[in-house]
Amino acid sequence: MNAFSAMIALAHAGFVLAREGVFNAISGDELPLPARAGLRIASLVARDRKGSTKQSERLSKALNRLGPSWVKLGQFLATRPDVVGNQMALDLELLQDRMDAFPTAEAKSAVEESLGRPINEMFASFSEPVAAASIAQVHKATLTSNPQKTVAVKVIRPGVRKRFLRDLDVFYFAARIQERFIPAARRLRPVSVVDVLAQSARLEMDLRLEAAAFSEMHENTAEDEGFRVPNVDWERTGRDVVTMDWVEGTKLTKVLEMDRQGLDKKQLAVTLIQSFLRHTLRDGFFHADMHPGNLFFEADGTIVAVDLGIAGRLGKKERLFLAEILYGFIKRDYMRVAQVHFDAGYVPLHHDVASFAQAIRAIGEPIHGQSAETVSMAKLLTLLFEVTELFDMQTQPQLLLLQKTMVVVEGVARKLDPKFNMWAASEPVVAQWIARKLGPVGKLQDAKDGIDAIVRLVGLVPEFVERTERLGKEIDALSQNGIRLDAPTIEAIGKAEAQHSRSGRLALIVIAIAAVIAAASL
């Protein structure tokens, strides 16, 4: 897609967002005059000019109108409150990923093409779609080899990859415009944000990778009580299709059904939180999209999680960091919480640990004066990340994904039990993990890891010496010959820079004209 096409597509997206009233909630008090004028035009274009519809509903409707790529963008930005702000992130978290289903005949064709076998050789029955989202849809089927076996078949949406790549050009174009013309946006590195979105979506569009995530979590949770994920049928899984056990449970949103079955909702809430923390701390691998639509409960109270297109990973350092923070707040040891930030290298050493501990105490102490059911761990982490900005702590994307997921999981738990005690439920898992990690067994494991690292380093010494010698020769040659740019290279650089500036100015003009025309057409 060329620059002009990207401008038109971006202007169209802006019009759709304005038409649905997405910009109505934005205050223009602190914005420059051109931006305030743009918001005024957007308010005139909006169908719901009084803003009576909820912001999250307006946003959901607009993104669904723009298509699967924009829905995926919204879901991704829900994980980045540092980019869009806390309120917008919460609104995006409520985004309902529901798209119109595509024909079953196309789904069957995609399955046959991906697996290289006729559909009737694999499945005795293949239903109409039972659920449809931005990336794929799900069908209920039975196996030819075992007609009594019911499975869920998730099939990629036709053309979604091509559509996403086209829309990705628009996202990159908008990000570059922001970095060039909006100085305040540069620290958020919008182009890098789109880079992460592109990589995340590409992974999600290869269903073999989602199958691998299910397989890994299935192994991790094999011995866990009260939580599981479906098992994958690898024989009937490919890039465009993943087949797994059918879940007969009921969605966690159906609270009345839980009451009818006599399930203990308070215990379900505890199981959900403890399972999530266990996956995060013990395994370093967690389901990062645990909203109620992706969670089912079975008759015996077991929670089953589906849709693992988004998963999070934490390394050993991040896991220890999380556990120490939670345990420090539980025990009111604020110096410990502060020190772990410095030990992890997240806060620059020129800051004072005691001053940082004082700032953390300002967050923790009010919590201990409230009843447990009114204290939100997710809110605590949000406040903590806000305080760390004052101490130059750089954004940690893996921790933001964790924060977002914890907000969702805690919200689900509180719907099951409005008086849910987050701290009481969390302490056994966190304390056990810290005791194991910092106890004798953990020390031995750390020692083993250290020895293994030294052995690997020793093995790299010959290669390191060779590279050092080669680098020395290259530096010596550089010092003698210098760096030269020929005339054609200099001329090409100048032309590229001039073209980039013209494209940026033209983009702003086209977008502004599109908005004015849209307003005038009403």
Buried b (16+ CB within 10 A) or exposed e, 168-207: bbbbbbbbbbbbbeeeeeeebbbeebbeebbebbeebbbb
In DSSP notation, 275-333 reads HHHHIIIIISEEES---GGGEEE-TTS-EEE---SSEEE--HHHHHHHHHHHHHHHHT-
For residues 71 and 94, is the Cβ–Cβ distance under 8 A? no
CB 293 within 8 A of CB 250: no
Reduced to 3 states, what is the DSSP secondary structure of residue 123?
Answer: strand
By annotation, the residues acting in catalysis are 289
3-state SS assignment for residue 80: coil
On whether the CB atoms of residues 304 and 229 are closer than 8 A, the answer is: yes
Contact call for residues 99 and 106 (beta carbons, < 8 A): no
CA pseudo-torsion sign 114, 118, 124, 127:
positive
Q: Are strands 303-305 and 227-228 parallel, antiparallel or unpaired?
A: parallel
302 to 66, 295, 411, 432: CA distances (angstroms): 38, 10, 19, 23
Q: 10 Å Cβ neighbour count for 118?
A: 12
CA distance 95 to 89: 10
Q: How far apart are the first and last CA of the chain?
A: 30
Angle between helices 353-368 and 377-390 (to 10 degrees): 150
- Residues 6 or more apart in contact with residue 276 via CB below 8 angstroms: 286, 287, 290, 405, 406, 409
Closest CA to 135 of 88, 203, 199: 203
The Cα 213–Cα 353 span in angstroms is: 39
| Nearest C-alpha neighbor of 125 from the set 163, 155, 152 | 152
**Around 329, how many Cα atoms within 13 Å sit in the side-chain half-sphere?**
30
Q: How far is CA 455 from CA 115, 316, 444, 452, 467, in A?
A: 43, 20, 17, 5, 19
